[in-house]
Structures are given as C-alpha cells and as structure tokens.
Chains A and B, each alone.
Chain A
Amino acid sequence: MLQKLKSALKNAAKTLYVISPMLLAVIGLVGLFKTFVTPQMLHTLFNGSALHDMLMGVGFGGVSVGQPFLSYIIGGELLDEGASFYGVTAFILAFVTLGVVQLPMEFSIFGFRFTLARNLLSLIFAFLLSVAITVTLRLFV
C-alpha cells in the first residue's frame, strides 16, 4: 500500500507538471480579465436577469474545454463582478456535463441516439438545476 501511495503521489506530481502550463495561462487570463474587463462590460454579458444569465452560462460553459477547476475560477470571478448565481451555476454545470468539442468522439463511441439523448437531457438539466440550486440557496442566505 505504501508503495502504491508513493507511485500515486508521483502521479499527482506529474499531473501538476502536465496541467501547469494551462493553469498558468488561465491565471494569466484571469489577471487580464480583472484589469481590462470592467464590471460594466460584464454586466452587458451577465446582466443579472435569470434567463439571460443562464443562457450565457450554458452557452459559454458548453463550448469551453479544460479541467473543471477552471470553471470554478472563472465562475468565482464572474460572481464577484455581479453575475447571478443562475448564470454562474449554469456555466459550471455546462462546463462539466456538456462538451461541444468532444461531441464527435462521444457519437463515435456511444452511438447517435445515446449521445443525442444524454446531451439534450444535460442541456435541459443545466437550466433546471441552476434554478433549483439558486432558489434553494436563497432559503439559506
């Protein structure tokens, strides 16, 4: 077990090495984003209206690729800049459960019907869950 843990730690270090360029790139973009993109500019994209924010969130989340933590970082910044939880939650969900870029691969592995059903359901669920999560959150805050 100790041997296994050792090799697992080694793998973790390797993972860090592999993701570090992308991580640094995204962090660099976040810095630019924070400095050059003003809240006013973001408000035109995410204006706080539930449906509008969710549409933007699902759209951007669905076409974005990368490790899920990227969506947390971007989502967190969006929230700071005044986007609603509706939009940010939709963004995070779409980021992980929808992948326009990997669609061809999904079709080729699972077949047409399964991929269509799964992606359509995930699209609908991004909206449903964003509403459910935001409404529930309001009960606590």
Chain B
Amino acid sequence: MKKNKSGLVMLGIVVLLYAVLFSLNADKTLMALKESLGVLKMIIPILVLVLTLTALLNTFIDEKSISRHLGEESGLKGWLLALIGGILSHGPGYVWYPMLQNLRERGAKDGLIGAFIYARAVKIPWIPLMIAYFGWTFTVVYTVYVVLGAWVQGVLLGRWMALSKDDIKIHHQDKSSKE
C-alpha cells in the first residue's frame, strides 16, 4: 500500500512537471507526451505477458518449498537451489530478507544466502522486456554471467563470513537479549 502511495506521489510530480514545462514550452511538452504514449504502446503487450508469467510462477512455485531446501549440508544441490530460488523469487528484495535471515539463523550457509540475493538480478518475467530493449545475445550473455557471478560471490561471501563468525554470534545475542 505504501508503494502504491509513492507511485501516486511520483505520478503527481511528473504531472506537475508536465504542467510547468507546458507553460514554458508547449510544443516541446506535447512532443514529450507523444513520445510517452509511444513508449506506453510498446510496453503494454509485454506487460500483459509479464503479468501472465508472474501468475504462472505464483501458481506453480510455492515460496515455502524454495526456503525448505536452502538449508545447510546441501552441497552442490544447495548452490543450485539458492541460484534457482533467487532467479525465481519475485517482488522486492526486502520482502525476502526476513525469510533469508531466518534460514541463516537455523544454519543455512551465508554463501547460499548471498548467491540467492545476487541471482535476483535475473528476472525471468522481465526477460521479454530485456530482449525487446537489448536483444537476445545481450540477454543470454547477461543471464549466464549473473548466475556465474552469483555463485562466485556466494563462495567469496561465505569465506569472508567464515573469517568473522564472532560477529554473527554477537548479532544473535543482541537479538535474543532484545526479545
């Protein structure tokens, strides 16, 4: 709901901007409006496709089943699941943070959490839009490198955190003393 509000505020600002610019330079502002309508027209079919994909993801992939298999001692399977989970997770990142921290506290590897978060840079529902703007080649190369990058970053993050396990213990104590 809060997000909805920020969108409305933003829209209000843009409308105001148009009004001000119209009074300064009417012709150019009308041209801008025409450009915007052109962009809107191009986006609409893609938007419909994206929302359908989102609905399908919501129907066939249950968030709980993603979280269940991200646990520790998972080896290669854990990495695969972290990467796939990150790719499939939708919505803003901070929605996933409490769940990820919960997994971490129950022994999930830090590296897996890091890989999950980075793999979110691949957004399957938005892939048609990425292809429309940047082409197939870019989209494939980008996706491959992000997944590879997420894995490498997860490994590095795991090593980094292993150097400083005390920090987590302190953080846990902080949390439990507050509760």
Chain A interface (Cβ < 8 Å from any Cβ of B):
1, 4-5, 8-9, 11-13, 15-16, 18-32, 34-36, 68-69, 72-73, 75-76, 79, 85, 88-89, 92-93, 96-97, 99, 102, 105-106, 109-114, 117-118, 121-122, 125, 128-129, 132-133, 136-137, 140-141
Complex interface bits, B64-75 against A, C-beta within 8 A gives 1, otherwise 0: 000000000000
Give CA–CA (A76, B15) in the complex, Å. Answer: 23
Q: Determine how close the nearest CB of chain A comes to the CB of B162; give it in whole angstroms.
A: 11
Q: Determine whether the beta carbon of B32 is less than 8 Å from that of A34.
A: yes
Given contacts A31-B35, A69-B129, A110-B101, contact A22 B11 (CB under 8 A): yes
Q: Determine whether the beta carbon of B7 is less than 8 Å from that of A21.
A: yes
Q: Determine how close the nearest CB of chain A comes to the CB of B55; give it in whole angstroms.
A: 4
Which applies to chain B's interface (DSSP): helix, strand, loop or mixed? helix
Q: Determine whether the beta carbon of A105 is less than 8 Å from that of B160.
A: no
Give CA–CA (A69, B127) in the complex, Å. Answer: 9
Given contacts A30-B36, A31-B34, A112-B167, contact A121 B157 (CB under 8 A): yes
Complex interface bits, B7-26 against A, C-beta within 8 A gives 1, otherwise 0: 11011011101100100000
Instruction: Tell me the chain B residues, 74-94 only, with Cβ under 8 Å from chain A.
Output: 93-94
Residues of A within 8 A of B97 (CB): 105-106, 109-110
Q: Determine how close the nearest CB of chain B comes to the CB of A12; give it in whole angstroms.
A: 4
Give CA–CA (A23, B161) in the complex, Å. Answer: 39
Chain B interface (Cβ < 8 Å from any Cβ of A):
3-4, 6-8, 10-11, 13-15, 17-18, 21, 28-29, 31-40, 43, 47, 50-52, 54-56, 58-59, 93-94, 97-98, 100-101, 104, 110, 113-114, 117-118, 120-121, 123, 126, 129-130, 132-134, 137-138, 141-142, 145-146, 149, 152-153, 156-157, 160-161, 164, 167-168, 171
Q: Determine how close the nearest CB of chain A comes to the CB of B19; give it in whole angstroms.
A: 12
- Pull 19 A–B residue pairs with CB atoms less than 8 Å apart, ordered by A: A5-B55, A8-B59, A22-B6, A23-B47, A28-B14, A30-B35, A32-B14, A34-B32, A68-B121, A68-B123, A72-B129, A97-B117, A110-B101, A113-B167, A114-B113, A129-B145, A129-B146, A132-B145, A133-B142
Q: Determine whether the beta carbon of A137 is less than 8 Å from that of B14.
A: no
Residues of B within 8 A of A68 (CB): 121, 123, 126
**Nearest CB to that of A135 among chain B residues?**
B141
Given contacts A4-B59, A21-B7, A125-B118, contact A75 B133 (CB under 8 A): yes
Give CA–CA (A16, B44) in the complex, Å. Answer: 11
Residues of A within 8 A of B134 (CB): 72, 75-76, 79, 88
Q: Determine whether the beta carbon of B168 is less than 8 Å from that of A113.
A: yes
Contact of A141 among B11, B59, B120, B137 (CB under 8 A): B137
